[in-house]
Amino acid sequence: MDSSDDSGHGAPTEEDAPPATFADDGKNTIGSQLASRLREAIISGELEAGSKINLDKARKTFNVSLSPLREGLARLISDGLVEFQDNRGYRVAPISLANLEEVTTLREELEVFALRESIRMGDIEWEGNIMRALHRLNRTERDAARPETLEHWEALHREFHLTLISGCGKPLLLHFCNLLLNLNDRYRRAFLIRTSGDRNVGQEHSEIAQGAVVRDVDYACEKLRQHIHRTGTNLRNHLATKGVV
Amino acid sequence: MDSSDDSGHGAPTEEDAPPATFADDGKNTIGSQLASRLREAIISGELEAGSKINLDKARKTFNVSLSPLREGLARLISDGLVEFQDNRGYRVAPISLANLEEVTTLREELEVFALRESIRMGDIEWEGNIMRALHRLNRTERDAARPETLEHWEALHREFHLTLISGCGKPLLLHFCNLLLNLNDRYRRAFLIRTSGDRNVGQEHSEIAQGAVVRDVDYACEKLRQHIHRTGTNLRNHLATKGVV
DNA sequence: AATATAAAAATAATCGATTATTTGTCAAGC
DNA sequence: GCTTGACAAATAATCGATTATTTTTATATT
């Protein structure tokens, strides 16, 4: 949309265009952009779990004013990534063994329920989306040596899980699951998780996907439940190793 | 993750300040007070579902500045009571048949699960709290002629349901349930629901409570599920009557 | 008349400065 | 020595004004 000059409006109004790579996809306001950046910073561990968020420092770090900063932080509260207390400000939500276990348990309940509903309600479009997400995920290599590949894999992994349940037709339920996935990813990325030797995660995903598209509710749901449970156990071991309570 | 505001079901002996006389509670921030007032205004239907919230008018109505107003509204987003769009502002979350059905379904899933966990984990203290909440609820008359008694009953009813699941030891799950209860109450209060003739709600509550304290998981959970389901059906009929899609 | 365009009004977002609250420090009194 | 309270510094909350965006209205063009 930039190059060729359209209807001759000689006006020199063209000024510093924002980096063309940033699609104008609804993240217009500073507050929204900030929410995204902060979310990523928290999930990736760049902002330490449990740490206080000093508004003044954050304001300088992100080069923004107070209003959008508060706006962004307020939004992360609904994501469960930030906690707030009147007159005492914000802090990054802490991580703990108990929290990890709750997240895992609730994922087993909610994500499995959402899959069940998706299988019941989903259409062909949904099936296709699953196969696509599965393919992209399984064809992507995870190379521990290159962090950027890990991030990419994480994004595809998340996408796969969300696609699985995207057919359930229940916005609130999807919101909950999305939130739980956010929380879960913090633990995962905190340890740059390498799957334990006795797991073939790729196959696990394939089994879940296959079960879903052939509408075998019990099979797919049980496979998903086990998948979530194993991941939880895996993460818990890492956490215990690090001595987190 | 919970905002530190009102709706306290945590404080046992708390007497509620009767009318919403403004200001001088002094202790909380304006943003928090606003969040409470707005939450009540939305749940009670004072602010119409789906309607736009004009910041300038709201600012004048509530006699506050923009910052705390936005702060308060942002918090209601996590409660599912307000929706937001960049550069287009806030609006009261709409109600619909589909939403009511989802809320009911998810309550059946989550609240029942939370009760199951509470029965497994709850201590004597928890049992006592249930009996107290039940007693207060059953001893309170609901007089359709006097709205303030309805509000009081609603508060006790909400308190009872939250107490039932308060022993589960899962903060996130409680947060979800609390949110669902908020959404559910909007429908309930929209119709000043009078229970249909074939229900004895008082007895339903008693059965659930009894089952819980004697730790009969299956009995208590099934009774709760039916209770939620019946309420959902009841509300759906009212909604259909009003022609809501 | 219908569509497109430009100016104006309404509304939302942001900023910089000010006010309120909490936290930290230190001396006085017991 | 320990608590208490006054003060100061740090931090959070709020305000009023300014800037940016969207919506509405008016005008022109086909």
Q: Where are the domains of chain A?
A: 30-92, 97-241
CA–CA separation, A153 and A149 (whole Å): 6
- B97-241 and B1-94 share a CATH fold: no
- Give yes or no for B67 touching A (CB within 8 A): yes
Name which of A27-31, A57-61, A120-124, A203-207 the model is least confident about: A27-31
pLDDT surpassing 80 at residue A50? yes
Domain B1-94 part of CATH 3.40.1210.10: no
HEC secondary structure over A42-81:
HHCCCCCCCCEECHHHHHHHHCCCHHHHHHHHHHHHHCCC
Q: What's the complex ipTM?
A: 0.86
Asked if the Cβ–Cβ distance from B103 to A71 is below 8 Å, we say no
pLDDT surpassing 90 at residue A7? no
Strand D and A51 CB separated by under 7 Å: no
Residue-wise pLDDT for B63-116, tens only, equals: 999 999 999 999 999 889 999 999 999 999 999 999 999 999 999 999 999 999
Closest CA to A170 of B108, B225, B159: B108
Which nucleotides of strand D lie within 7 A of protein CB? 11-17, 21-23
- Give yes or no for B178 touching A (CB within 8 A): no
Class of domain B97-241: mainly alpha
How far is residue B66 CA from its own chain's centroid?
Answer: 27
Class of domain A30-92: mainly alpha
- Give yes or no for A219 touching B (CB within 8 A): no
Residue-wise pLDDT for B119-147, tens only, equals: 999 999 999 999 999 999 999 988 777 77
Which nucleotide lies at the shortest CA–C1' distance from A63? C15
CA–CA separation, B136 and B150 (whole Å): 14
Q: Which residue of B has its CA nearest to A92?
A: B1
Asked if the Cβ–Cβ distance from A28 to B3 is below 8 Å, we say no
The gap between B225 CA and D27 C1' (Å) is: 63
Which nucleotide lies at the shortest CA–C1' distance from A71? C13
Element (H, E) at A231: helix A217-241
Q: Which residue of B has its CA nearest to A66?
A: B67
- Residue B6's pLDDT band (cuts 50, 70, 90): very low
- Give yes or no for A29 touching B (CB within 8 A): yes
Closest CA to A166 of A128, A139, A201: A128
Element (H, E) at A92: strand A89-92
